Structure 1
């Protein structure tokens, strides 16, 4: 018989879980700010939601080293969502704030 050294994956801590959830919440808020809120008949305010989404992504990145790449993608998505959301709000005469 051979013995294999099995390496167990590290378990997620509570901070890792919350950091991942904050990054996902940032992506959802960015989607609403970008204009997908119009499909759900939500009144999207891109000037309010995008900075909050960016802040959630930054807090999530700081909390968890495991989900830093997800938080980075969420922060970049929040920046893109701000530009697209402001453009959609201006074209459709929607509220900015």
Structure 2
């Protein structure tokens, strides 16, 4: 007999960990596409980076049910980053692609 009751429902799997990292990576890519890449002096191409960030968020949502809310927020942030990034590129006459 064991005095510790183990519950396997709250255990994190490798797929959960990778899905969480993909969702966070998607948020970082979206921030770079939005215009924060200009602060880091990176060439932010929102027409390239934002769709990749959205796809990464969708893959993360499909991989793990545990991080689906985070992946949804990452996908919505990617869409917002695409719009804001395109506006920033048009205003600053930067490259789209």
TM-score by length of 1: 0.91
Post-superposition CA distance 1:54-77 (Å, at most 9, x none): 000000000010000000000000
Point out where structure 1 has 5 or more consecutive residues left out of the alignment: none
How far residue 11 of structure 1 moved from its aligned partner, in angstroms, is 1.3
TM-score by length of 2: 0.91
- 1:59 is aligned to 59
Partner secondary structure for residue 11 of structure 1: coil
- 1:35 is aligned to 35
Count of aligned pairs between the two proteins:
93
Partner secondary structure for residue 53 of structure 1: helix
RMSD after superposition: 1.5
